[in-house]
Amino acid sequence: MQLIERINRQLTGYYSRESRAMVSLVLVFAALSLLFSLSSWGRAVPPSIGTPLGIIHEIPDVIGHLLFGMLACLPSRQRPLIVTGGLLGVVLDADHLGRLIGFPLLSRASHSVGFLIVAAIAVGLFTRQGYLKLRVTSWTASAIAAAIVVGHIALDAFIGYGSVPMLAPFSFTEYTFSRIEGLELEVIAFLLVLAARQLNSKAMP
Ligand SMILES: [Zn+2]
């Protein structure tokens, strides 16, 4: 909590309140994804470490996650939230980092219902306590966090990486979504944010 507040304070004077809220939310979400991935410790053999230039191959995926995250948040009709949604869609892949640096972790532990619940509760609580300074209710913030997880898995399925440990951290068995199911998941993500907007229309002008 103090770390979030310190980051917020250090950014004061440089960026608008909305920009600071966006940066805080993105950092919190990435940290949650990275921490959650530790639940898969020992579930995979340590990988051989690739070249950093390998990240270049990920650029189309990053753009896809940006677009799917933004699309899911369109119903919020708040430009900062839509941009933030795109960034959240990208940083959910922070769960790859542990494996990238050679730890015996699954690379996609946060692509799961378990992480969806953790992220929705944590982002909702941080919003309610005022740490994230978002212009939405805590329920809407939770719905956005959940929609981002669904929308991220949607894009992965759509581009052919649809195998995810859905029930992590309780089971790391991988479930595979088809490309069509990927599109259906993106519709669900969109509807989640739309429902949150309808239910909280006073809080989301
Ligand atoms: Zn992914």
Please name the residues in contact with 34: beta carbons below 8 A apart, sequence gap of 6 or more.
94, 95, 97, 98
pLDDT of residue 66: 97
Environment of ion ligand 1 (residues, CB < 5 A): 93, 156
Taking the chain (205 residues) in runs of 10, the rounded mean pLDDT of each run is 68 67 92 94 70 65 96 93 95 90 86 97 94 87 97 95 91 94 97 92 51
Tell me the C-alpha distance between 194 and 100, whole Å: 35
Largest CA distance in the chain: 51
Q: Residue 59: how many CB atoms within 10 A of its CB?
A: 9
Q: Where do the H-state alpha helices sit in 12-137?
A: 17-37, 59-73, 79-91, 97-100, 113-128
Instruction: Quote the ligand 1 centre to 174 CA distance (angstroms).
Output: 13
3-class DSSP state for residue 190?
A: helix
pLDDT of residue 50: 58
pLDDT of residue 39: 93
Instruction: Quote the ligand 1 centre to 156 CA distance (angstroms).
Output: 6
pLDDT of residue 1: 65
pTM of the entire structure?
Answer: 0.86
